[in-house]
Amino acid sequence: MAVSRNTPVVKAMVLIRRPRDGALLVSEHTDPALAPFQRPLGGHVEFGEYALETVHRELREEIGQDLTGARLLGVLENIFQWHDAAQHEIVFVFAAAFADDSAYDISAQEIRDEPDGHTRVIWRPADETSPPLYPVGVADLVARAG
C-alpha cells in the first residue's frame, strides 16, 4: 500500500491474552536504529473495511487463526519517526480470544504473510516491560482489559 508520508494510516490491532498466565500475543520487530520492540498483531484497515473486520482478516492471514468475542478497547493515535520520516497512525485496539483453544499452546511462529519471512509471533509475559510495547498507550489498554 503506497501511502504519502503526510497521510495518517488507519490500523487495527488485537490483544490476545493466554488464559493460563495472562501472556500477551505479540510480534517482534526491530526499528531502523536496530532497537527491538513488540506490537500486538493486526495491520492496515483496507478501504471499505471496518476495523473489526481487519483484525479478523489479519489474524487469519498472519497466523491462520480465527477470533471470537472481539470488542473495542480504545483508539490510539501514534506519531513517530520511521526511516527518517514522520509517521502518523490511528489504531483501533480490540481484545479477543482464539476460537480454537489449541492456538494458545503454540509457543512461537513466523508471520505467514510477512514479505521478509522473519517476523516472529511470541507470547510476551504479562509482567514484561522490555522491549517496549507499541503503539504508545497500548500497555495501558492491556492493563485496563485485565
For the stretch 58-105, pLDDT in tens is 999 999 999 999 999 999 998 877 777 788 899 999 999 999 999 999
Residue 54 or residue 84, greater confidence: 54
Calculate ∠ Cα 18-22-28, nearest 5°: 75
Amino acid (one-letter) located at 23: A
Coil vs helix vs strand at 100: coil
Place of cell 483508539: 75
19 CB burial (10 A radius; 0-12, 13-18, 19+): exposed
Torsion of CA 50, 145, 43, 39, to 10 degrees: 170
In this prediction, residues 31-43 reach a mean pLDDT of 83
Task: Give the integer Cα–Cα distance in Å for 85 and 77.
Answer: 17
118 pLDDT tier (thresholds 50, 70, 90): low
Does the pTM surpass 0.85? The reply is yes
**Which residue segments constitute the domains of the chain, with CATH numbers given?**
9-145 (3.90.79.10)
Q: Where are the alpha helices (DSSP H) in the chain?
A: 51-63, 138-145
